Amino acid sequence: MIVTIYHNRHDPHPGHIPFYSEVCEECWFERAYEYEIRPEGSDPRGRTLETIWRQNNHVDGTEVVANIIPPVRSLSVGDVVGLDGSYYAVARIGFVEAGLSDLTLPPLQA
């Protein structure tokens, strides 16, 4: 499965530390990076999203995000995970499926 990480770049409060509580109509995204992952368990989508969360947060240096050059920030609430043509917004707890019509995503470069 191909995983594409999109960072939410909308700052509703310029000058403050951005904390994105949700994906909004004004949000815009930056394609941060892409990698491949194997589906897991009997609920491949759910388990895989949990694994993606772990791999994309700075914890102990073994995660995917720790090895991206140049360095990138951890996955945060309001960011989007592209997973084989489906899109999931990071929610305060878990993920929420998001359609392309809900998002302004940059085109992938070949």
Reported as a single tens digit per residue, the pLDDT across 73-102 is 888 888 889 988 888 988 888 888 887 655
Number of domains making up the chain: 1
Distances in whole angstroms, Cα of residue 104 to Cα of each of 2, 9, 95: 19, 11, 18
Question: Strand 29-36 relative to strand 2-8: parallel, antiparallel, unpaired?
Answer: antiparallel
- Percent of the chain beyond pLDDT 90? 3
Residue 90: which of 58, 60, 56 has the closest Cα?
56
Domain with 21, as residue range(s), is: 2-102
The residue written with tokens 């930056």 in the block is 30
Query: What mean pLDDT is predicted for residues 58-86?
Result: 83
pLDDT given at position 18 = 45
Indicate the range of 32-36, 48-52, 62-66, 85-89 predicted with least confidence.
Answer: 62-66
Does a structural domain hold residue 66?
Answer: yes
Q: How confident is the model at residue 103 (pLDDT cuts 50, 70, 90)?
A: low
**pTM of the full structure:** 0.74
Does a structural domain hold residue 41?
Answer: yes
pLDDT given at position 105 = 59
Does a structural domain hold residue 49?
Answer: yes
Element (H, E) at 55: helix 44-55
Residue 79: which of 71, 70, 87 has the closest Cα?
87
Does a structural domain hold residue 110?
Answer: no
Q: How confident is the model at residue 17 (pLDDT cuts 50, 70, 90)?
A: very low
